[in-house]
Amino acid sequence: MDARLIEAKAAPVRYDGVTIAFHWATAILVLALFASILTADYAPRDWHWHHTLENFHVGLGILFAAVLIGRLGWRITLGRILPAADHGIQDIAAKTVHVALYGLLLLQMSLGFLTRWFQGEEFSFFGLFTMPPLFPVDRDFGELLESIHNYVAWIIIFLAAGHAVAALGHHFITGDGVLRRMLPGGR
């Protein structure tokens, strides 16, 4: 048995502060990324904020990549692993959703970078530095990747919403403390 799981069984049933910070930073960034590009996509192309929103989305995407890589590294090496809150099919469903979210977030991050690079566009991290394209321009392939990137975003949003509804169900219906495991501030 993993030493982190043994420690979690002996300690209060809460995630460590770094895991909690990574979780909420990921959630906030996913929502901000989704909202920024959705706003940019539905705004007229000649709207003066359109390009600014796209650049903001790209900067947030780079920040998201750093947070996601840090989160995965922390989870694999140092993050506290808690015993399952559910048993049977609920435990399997929860683990499946978590694995799916991690996999989709990694896929989404990769698609975002590849889309920009194949479209021949550099990345700008809020104007502080830029990353030039790494691949020869292939706009058709870049558009295909962008389309997949958009579909994956919607899947992530639906899965994350289901994840949030399940956490709220645990809190308000079963009252088992699952949501409190991931709340900041020891509540």
Q: How far is CA 180 from CA 12, 21, 120, 169, 183, in A?
A: 11, 14, 45, 12, 5
Q: What is the mean pLDDT of residues 64-76?
A: 96
SS3 169: helix
Query: What is the distance between the alpha carbons of residues 92 and 77, in angstroms, rounded to a whole number?
Result: 23
Identify the CATH number of the domain in which residue 102 sits: 1.20.950
pLDDT band of residue 10 (cuts 50, 70, 90) is very low
pLDDT in tens, 24-59: 999 999 999 999 999 988 888 788 888 889 999 999
Q: How far is CA 133 from the centre of its chain?
A: 24
**Considering only CA atoms, which of 67, 77, 144 is closest in space to residue 102?**
67
* pLDDT tops 80 at residue 9: no
Nearest-10 Cα torsion for 160, 163, 168, 170: -170
Total domains present in the chain:
1
Strand segments, DSSP code E, in the chain are: 123-124, 130-131
Domain extent at residue 82? 3-186
